A and B are shown apart, each in its own frame.
Chain A
């Protein structure tokens, strides 16, 4: 793999806006979409990433099963009372509570080692549109003969079709899928609209609405949309672990447990989305070539290890720090990198540090997308800093011809 500097397309901002992606520049004027460079991979490298993602996803599914069958919810930061929804949905994971998507973050420098999974964003993965559409359009404009690790859109339409087939009432269009996110929130609304587009292409009736407008009727025990109609299928771009702690969280758990509402992602994804899952992954598969030593306890690392501390339920690279630990697991000196944020309440997970691909002072995380258990695309985020956050730049990629 290599990072290749290139001239941005003339009028690249207008080109992105034309395809419905106005979010190319941060509020402070710095680039979010960055086509002043791209990453170039060999076919073999892409196949390595693809295989690693599918392998680790399989391990993640096993680990979720381990949590569910043993009731290890506390270990992954989930309250026990949410278990009925998790267990009911897990039992139907191959049918009516199938997964839609997820995104791995992989660290890999391509210098002989294996790709290491840093985490799995199993519930509300970001950068979907950039990956599926914006970088594909970039490739068509700049390297139309080249290939890209990117069948994300087709794979997601297939997932919607599979879901539809599991519900006769979706086939007949008697029932609809509601798409909800925080509104106003231009980026999330755009993502929701894109997912809605793909569901429509799979032949479903859809409706988008603010998640804040969802109502609950105690008499009928139903969740209702802003027109008073029952919500039977809810795609929410909003984490489960927040919803269950909000006003009608327990009602949601009960409704999902009884199949009165089908959630996308289903409740079992709550377990898969916990960063604590990676501690369990290491415990179940110690030394696996695609995993890093990860633990809920920082005393198990050899003295002098460089370790990354992340909140169990953190997001967007918030509240992450990287430091060297002594034999007792205490940091030696100041962290070499640290981010602030709101996620300080639910415990921590510790993971052995591994270098990201680096070029010209840019550190790149390879986001491998999953549709169900199939790897189907990649989006790359770059940062000058060691910790990738929500302002890290999105950089397109291609597979070198030949």
Chain B
């Protein structure tokens, strides 16, 4: 009957732990940070830097890839994409040409029982879907209304890290419009008048 110890907490007050462990022992805990600075406010800066590096590696190896900036931005949002090789290590020898990936908007840190950290890159796509690369674990569910704040937050460190999303840094004159066809479905009108809150 007793359940496992980790429960998922909500992201209501900004960027906060999304997997929250109660009580004394914290077997597993995952937090999403928009920047190394935000992370350093809560844990040792060296851990943050390590986690960021790991997330960036994961990002490089597994970020969704697109054949052009246009294709990437069409899916991930205006200005949300960067060339895949930007910021790559000089000696890596990889030259991937015109491949574009979504920029990181943050990273998540999980602490495992063994004491090691595992880090995951975090992205948002154009429509506000939360994703974490192509991996199935540790996807973050930021409510859509939070994603702009996160992007702004991460934009703040872009100049130092060089690989975060930079607002307005996308190629110029790129406008992608989503066609909002159809009409309002009209859902919600009954509840708005009743002040619905479940049963």
Interface residues in chain A, defined as those with a beta carbon under 8 Å from any beta carbon in chain B = 17, 19-22, 46, 121, 123-126, 129, 132-133, 136-137, 139-141, 144, 147-154, 176, 180, 182, 185, 187-191, 193-194, 196-198, 200-201, 203, 205-212, 214-220, 222-229, 236-239, 242-243, 245-248, 251-252, 314-316, 342, 390, 399
From B11, B179, B196, name the one whose CB has the most chain A CB atoms within 10 angstroms: B196
From A136, A148, A236, name the one whose CB has the most chain B CB atoms within 10 angstroms: A136
Interface 1/0s, chain B 108-137, versus A by CB < 8 A?
000000000000000000111111000011
Interface residues in chain B, defined as those with a beta carbon under 8 Å from any beta carbon in chain A = 1-5, 7-13, 16, 18, 20, 22-24, 126-131, 136-137, 139-141, 143-144, 178-192, 194, 196-199
- Please name all residues of chain B whose beta carbon is closer than 8 Å to the beta carbon of A226 when the two chains form the complex: 127, 180
10 contacts between A and B (CB under 8 A): A22-B13, A139-B22, A153-B8, A200-B130, A210-B188, A215-B185, A242-B196, A246-B187, A316-B197, A399-B1
- Identify which of A125, A126, A200, A228 contacts B141 (C-beta below 8 A): A200
Task: Supply 9 further A-B pairs (C-beta < 8 A) apart from A136-B7, A314-B199, A390-B197.
Answer: A20-B12, A46-B1, A154-B4, A201-B139, A206-B129, A209-B128, A215-B184, A229-B127, A315-B198
Q: Complex Cα distance A207/B24, Å? A: 33
- Please name all residues of chain A whose beta carbon is closer than 8 Å to the beta carbon of B126 when the two chains form the complex: 227
Q: Complex Cα distance A297/B97, Å? A: 75
Q: Complex Cα distance A201/B19, Å? A: 10
Residue of A nearest to B198 (CB): A126
Task: Give 5 closest A-B pairs by Cβ, nearest first.
Answer: A247-B186, A140-B23, A20-B10, A217-B182, A126-B198
Q: Are B9 and A19 in contact (CB under 8 A)?
A: yes
Q: Are A196 and B182 in contact (CB under 8 A)?
A: no
Q: Are B191 and A126 in contact (CB under 8 A)?
A: no
- Please name all residues of chain B whose beta carbon is closer than 8 Å to the beta carbon of A137 when the two chains form the complex: 7, 20, 22-23
Q: Complex Cα distance A201/B188, Å? A: 28
B107 CB to nearest A CB, Å? 16
Q: Are A218 and B182 in contact (CB under 8 A)?
A: yes
Q: Are B191 and A238 in contact (CB under 8 A)?
A: yes
B149 CB to nearest A CB, Å? 15
- Please name all residues of chain A whose beta carbon is closer than 8 Å to the beta carbon of B12 when the two chains form the complex: 20, 22, 190, 193
Residue of B nearest to A317 (CB): B199
Residue of A nearest to B195 (CB): A342
- Please name all residues of chain B whose beta carbon is closer than 8 Å to the beta carbon of A342 when the two chains form the complex: 194
Q: Are A203 and B143 in contact (CB under 8 A)?
A: no
- Please name all residues of chain A whose beta carbon is closer than 8 Å to the beta carbon of B8 when the two chains form the complex: 133, 153, 194, 197-198, 201
Q: Are B10 and A149 in contact (CB under 8 A)?
A: no
- Please name all residues of chain B whose beta carbon is closer than 8 Å to the beta carbon of A191 when the two chains form the complex: 198
Residue of B nearest to A171 (CB): B136
Q: Are B22 and A224 in contact (CB under 8 A)?
A: no
Q: Complex Cα distance A244/B192, Å? A: 15
Q: Are A150 and B24 in contact (CB under 8 A)?
A: no
User: Secondary structure at chain A's binding surface: helix, strand, loop or mixed?
Assistant: mixed
Q: A126-B197, A197-B18, A208-B143 are in contact. Are A228 and B179 (CB under 8 A)?
A: yes
Q: Are A216 and B199 in contact (CB under 8 A)?
A: no
How many A-B Cβ pairs are below 8 Å? 209
Q: Are B199 and A214 in contact (CB under 8 A)?
A: no
- Please name all residues of chain A whose beta carbon is closer than 8 Å to the beta carbon of B13 when the two chains form the complex: 17, 20, 22
From B126, B186, B187, name the one whose CB has the most chain A CB atoms within 10 angstroms: B187
- Please name all residues of chain A whose beta carbon is closer than 8 Å to the beta carbon of B127 when the two chains form the complex: 207, 225-227, 229
Q: A20-B9, A208-B144 are in contact. Are A214 and B185 (CB under 8 A)?
A: yes
Q: Complex Cα distance A201/B9, Å? A: 12
Residue of A nearest to B132 (CB): A200
Q: Are A150 and B185 in contact (CB under 8 A)?
A: no
A216 CB to nearest B CB, Å? 4
Q: Are B7 and A147 in contact (CB under 8 A)?
A: no
Q: Complex Cα distance A210/B185, Å? A: 12
Q: Are B181 and A133 in contact (CB under 8 A)?
A: no
Q: A316-B198, A390-B197 are in contact. Are A20 and B188 (CB under 8 A)?
A: no
Q: Are A248 and B185 in contact (CB under 8 A)?
A: yes
Q: A194-B8, A203-B136, A207-B128 are in contact. Are A228 and B187 (CB under 8 A)?
A: no
Q: Complex Cα distance A202/B130, Å? A: 14
Residue of B nearest to A149 (CB): B1
Q: Complex Cα distance A376/B197, Å? A: 23
Q: Are B188 and A238 in contact (CB under 8 A)?
A: yes
A186 CB to nearest B CB, Å? 8
- Please name all residues of chain A whose beta carbon is closer than 8 Å to the beta carbon of B188 when the two chains form the complex: 182, 210-212, 238, 246
- Please name all residues of chain B whose beta carbon is closer than 8 Å to the beta carbon of A229 when the two chains form the complex: 127, 178
Q: Are B129 and A176 in contact (CB under 8 A)?
A: yes
Q: A129-B10, A140-B5, A218-B182 are in contact. Are A124 and B141 (CB under 8 A)?
A: no
- Please name all residues of chain A whose beta carbon is closer than 8 Å to the beta carbon of B139 when the two chains form the complex: 200-201, 203, 205
Q: Complex Cα distance A193/B180, Å? A: 25
Residue of B nearest to A133 (CB): B7
- Identify which of A121, A206, A209, A216 contacts B183 (C-beta below 8 A): A216
Residue of B nearest to A225 (CB): B127
- Identify which of B140, B184, B185 contacts A200 (C-beta below 8 A): B140
Residue of B nearest to A313 (CB): B199
Q: Complex Cα distance A212/B192, Å? A: 9
Q: Are A197 and B128 in contact (CB under 8 A)?
A: no
Q: Complex Cα distance A315/B198, Å? A: 7
